[in-house]
C-alpha cells in the first residue's frame, strides 16, 4: 500500500480567518460578536482618532508652531496615538487567556485613562498653555499631575496584560502568540521611556528649570513613539497573513522577521536617545 502523504496540522485561526472571506467582512462579524465593554472601547477609540484630524484642521486655520510645548501637534498626535492604542489593546487582549470580567474591568479603566490623557492635553492646547510639567498655577499643576497619574495607571494596566500574555500562551492563528508577546514586550519599553520622560521633566520643573523640563523629552520621543505601536502592527501582520495562501511555516517565518526588524528599529531609537541625551 502506498504511503499516505503527510498533512500539515490545521491552523488554529478558526475565529479570525476564513478562506475566501475578505477582512472587511471578518471585521464586521467581529464587531457583532464583541462584548459591550469591547464595543465601548472601540467607539471611544474611534472618537479619539477622529479628534486628531479635527485639531490638524484647527492648526491649518489657526497656525502657530508645530513643535514645542504649546502647539496643535499635541492633541493631533495624542488623539491618533491613544485612539489606535485603545482599539489595538481591546482587540489583541481577546487572544489572551484571562477571565472575561477582569479583562472588561481593565479595558474600561484603560479607556477612561485614554480619555483623561487626551482630554487633558486637548484642554491645555485650547488654553494655549503647556500640558506637561506645567506648575505655574494650581489648576495647571493639577492637570499636569493628573496626566502623570494617568501615565502611571497606563503602565499598571498594560503590564497586567503583558504578564498574562507571557504567563499563558495566547490563542490565535499562526504567529499571533509571538506577535502578541513581542508587541507587549516592546510596548513596555515605550511605557518605561514615557515614565522616564515624565519623571525627569517633573524633577526639572520642580527644581525651577521649567524650560529644561520641556527640552528634556526630545531625545526619548522617537523611542517612545516607535515602541508604543508594536502591539498594533505585529498582531495586524499576523492576522492579515491568515488571508494569504502561504503555509503556516511561511507565515510564522514572516512574523519572526517582522519582530526582528521592529526590535532593530527600537534598538536604533535607544542608541539615538543615548547619544542625544
Sketch the domain layout of the chain as residue ranges.
35-171, 174-277
Residue 184 has a pLDDT of: 95
The H or E element spanning position 276 is helix 248-276
Kindly report, residue by residue over 159-206, the tens digit of the pLDDT.
999 999 999 999 999 999 999 999 999 999 988 887 777 777 666 666
Given a cut of 50, whether residue 139 has pLDDT beyond it is yes
Residue 132 has a pLDDT of: 78
Given a cut of 90, whether residue 213 has pLDDT beyond it is no
**Pick from 17-26, 101-110, 252-261: least confident:** 17-26
- Please tell me the distance from the alpha carbon of residue 151 to that of residue 134, in angstroms, as a whole number: 16
Q: How many CA atoms lie within 13 A of 265 on its CB side?
A: 17
Fold of 35-171: 1.20.120
Give the distance between the most distant pair of CA atoms in the chain: 87
Query: Which phi and psi (to 5°) does residue 187 adopt?
Result: -60, -40
Given a cut of 80, whether residue 84 has pLDDT beyond it is yes
Mean pLDDT of 258-270: 94
Q: Output the DSSP codes for 45-61.
A: HHHHHHHHHHHHHHHHH
**Pick from 32-36, 84-88, 124-128: least confident:** 32-36
Residue 66 has a pLDDT of: 85
Q: What is the mean pLDDT of the chain?
A: 84
Amino acid at each position: 500500500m502506498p504511503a499516505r502523504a503527510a498533512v500539515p496540522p490545521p491552523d488554529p485561526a478558526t475565529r479570525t480567518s476564513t478562506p475566501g472571506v475578505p477582512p472587511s467582512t471578518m471585521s464586521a462579524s467581529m464587531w457583532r460578536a464583541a462584548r459591550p465593554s469591547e464595543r465601548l472601547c472601540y467607539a471611544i477609540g474611534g472618537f479619539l482618532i477622529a479628534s486628531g484630524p479635527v485639531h490638524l484642521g484647527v492648526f491649518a486655520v489657526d497656525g502657530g508652531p508645530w513643535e514645542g510645548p504649546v502647539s496643535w501637534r499635541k492633541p493631533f498626535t495624542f488623539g491618533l496615538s491613544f485612539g489606535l492604542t485603545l482599539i489595538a489593546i481591546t482587540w489583541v487582549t481577546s487572544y489572551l487567556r484571562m477571565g472575561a470580567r477582569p479583562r472588561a474591568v481593565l479595558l474600561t479603566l484603560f479607556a477612561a485613562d485614554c480619555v483623561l490623557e487626551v482630554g487633558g492635553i486637548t484642554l491645555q492646547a485650547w488654553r494655549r498653555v503647556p500640558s506637561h510639567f506645567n506648575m505655574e498655577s494650581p489648576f495647571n499643576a493639577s492637570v499636569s499631575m493628573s496626566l502623570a497619574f494617568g501615565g502611571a495607571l497606563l503602565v499598571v494596566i498594560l503590564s497586567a496584560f503583558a504578564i498574562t500574555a507571557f504567563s499563558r500562551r495566547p490563542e490565535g492563528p499562526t504567529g499571533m502568540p509571538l506577535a502578541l508577546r513581542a508587541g507587549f514586550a516592546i510596548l513596555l519599553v515605550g511605557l518605561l521611556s514615557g515614565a522616564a520622560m515624565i519623571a525627569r521633566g517633573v524633577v526639572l520643573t520642580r527644581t525651577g528649570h521649567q524650560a529644561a523640563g520641556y527640552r528634556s523629552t526630545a531625545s526619548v520621543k522617537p523611542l517612545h513613539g516607535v515602541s508604543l505601536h508594536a502591539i498594533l502592527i505585529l498582531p495586524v501582520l499576523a492576522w492579515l497573513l491568515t488571508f494569504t495562501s502561504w503555509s503556516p511555516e511561511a507565515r510564522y517565518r514572516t512574523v519572526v522577521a517582522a519582530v526582528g526588524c521592529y526590535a532593530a528599529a527600537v534598538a536604533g531609537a535607544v542608541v539615538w536617545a543615548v547619544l542625544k541625551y
